[in-house]
Amino acid sequence: MGINFRQETFRNDFSFKNSPEQIRRFPFPFHEDGYMYSVNIEPHVPGPKNTVFEHLFDVDEHYISEMRDRAMVLAEDPLRCQSLPHMTLAGWDTLELLMTEKAKSYPDLFSLTRDGDKWHWINRPLGIDDRFTFGDTSTLPYGPLEYITRQSQGDFAVLDQRDGNLWMDAGMVTTQADWSLDFDIGMNFFEWHAPVPLAHEMGVFNRALKFLMAIQQGQPARRFNWTMTINPRLDTSPENYHKWGTDRTTVTPDNVGHKVHLRVEVQMFFRLPRSNALLFPIRCYLIKMEELVSSPKWARRFHRVLRDLPDELAEYKGLVRYRPTTVEWLSKYDDGQPTSPGFGPD
């Protein structure tokens, strides 16, 4: 195999692009021509080859560049990675899960050798070769959560489970859709979801919490979420709103194709065995409108989804300013033909 890792940026000159192969494996999140909340959770089991679900933790052509962007975010703002004192064990659980899965899924890129608690980890794409003692934080350059999530695409929230609730007590969050770990740290499930419109009234969160608290070891689950981002910027955080908020005023009919991105999150849920915490990886995939419309079905469907989205959701997702321009641009690719069921391109 071998992945052709791209050298690209998610800031300043925004050289991020998807290769044609990467476009084909894009996790398009709409199975029908409309969108409303649903808990939409399914088992996270390995999926077909050449999809982002082939392995439990997908590594793709953006890996090295995404990790470089994360390091830049952390250098400016170390609070993007936090772990409350009782969450260290969950950090070790996370490290074990990510290392064992990566080494199993991509043996030519990653290797893990274990002799009791003496571990040897090799990450070839990032040029890392470290020996450490599992459970002994002093043998790693960072805490276990930070160490392994500096080497793993996507954000990671680590949720402590107690008192019939989930608590945002640790995480690594640098590629987020406008939420802040530093703001949410220590909050429970209902507190950090408080800003979401409509869903509370629908009882979505009570059902979701009940489901999440029952996630069992070895039976992870996943769901999609989505929003849109102007310019391929991973770090759309509240902390840096002053850097990206105004991007939303720059969309014109001429630049929609390369400036407007659909941002899809594959959210996963894993029960961690030692700490009984819940690991919540949030993996972000970006695709430009001009890349998206290379699939006629996706073009038609996304046009209809965006056009018919309830105003509250458009407001919450921050799409209001550029939605009309984008819908207008997409309408050129919607000939009114029916779309086939399911997620994949035709």
Partner 1 sequence: MVTDIVTVNELVKRFHFRRTDGGLLPTFSGGAHIVVEMRDEERTRLNPYSLMSSPLDTRDYTISVRRDDAGRGGSLFMHSRVEPGQRMVISSPVNLFSLDLRARKHLMIAGGIGITPFLAQTAQLAAEGGNFELHYCFRNDGVGSYADFLRQRYDRKVNLYRSDLQETFELERVLATQPLGTHLYVCGPEGMIDWVRATAAGLGWPGETVHYEHFAAPQPGKPFDVTLALSGIDIRVGEHESLLEAIEAAGIDPPYLCRGGVCGQCETNVISHDGKFLHNDHWLSEEDRRSGCKIMPCVSRFEGRSLVLER
Active site residues: 223
CB 178 within 8 A of CB 124: no
- How far apart are CB 219 and partner 1 at their closest, in Å? 7
- How far apart are CB 96 and partner 1 at their closest, in Å? 8
Q: DSSP state, 17?
A: -
Nearer to partner 1, 5 or 134 (CB): 134
CB 196 within 8 A of CB 31: no
- How far apart are CB 86 and partner 1 at their closest, in Å? 4
Tokens of 200: 């509370």
Q: How far apart are CA 181 and CA 171, in angstroms?
A: 7
Q: How far apart are CA 330 and CA 261, in angstroms?
A: 12
Q: How far apart are CA 256 and CA 252, in angstroms?
A: 6
CB 86 within 8 A of CB 169: yes
- How far apart are CB 277 and partner 1 at their closest, in Å? 9
Contacting positions for partner 1 (CB under 8 A) = 84-87, 89, 160-163, 210, 214, 216-219, 273-276
CB 220 within 8 A of CB 269: yes
Element (H, E) at 297: helix 296-308
* Neighbouring residues of 242: CB distance < 8 A, sequence distance ≥ 6: none
Nearer to partner 1, 135 or 238 (CB): 135
> Residue 273: helix, strand or coil by DSSP?
coil
Nearer to partner 1, 102 or 323 (CB): 102
- How far apart are CB 158 and partner 1 at their closest, in Å? 12
* Neighbouring residues of 92: CB distance < 8 A, sequence distance ≥ 6: 134, 135, 144, 274
Q: How far apart are CA 92 and CA 69, in angstroms?
A: 24
Q: How far apart are CA 261 and CA 230, in angstroms?
A: 6
Closest CA to 343 of 21, 9, 27: 27
- How far apart are CB 135 and partner 1 at their closest, in Å? 8
Nearer to partner 1, 206 or 246 (CB): 206
- How far apart are CB 25 and partner 1 at their closest, in Å? 31
Nearer to partner 1, 200 or 274 (CB): 274
Nearer to partner 1, 154 or 171 (CB): 171
Tokens of 130: 């470290």
- Report how far apart, in Å, the C-alpha atoms of 85 and of each of 89, 94, 144, 169, 322 are: 9, 15, 12, 9, 43
Nearer to partner 1, 69 or 160 (CB): 160
* Neighbouring residues of 281: CB distance < 8 A, sequence distance ≥ 6: 57, 152, 154, 155, 156, 267, 268, 270
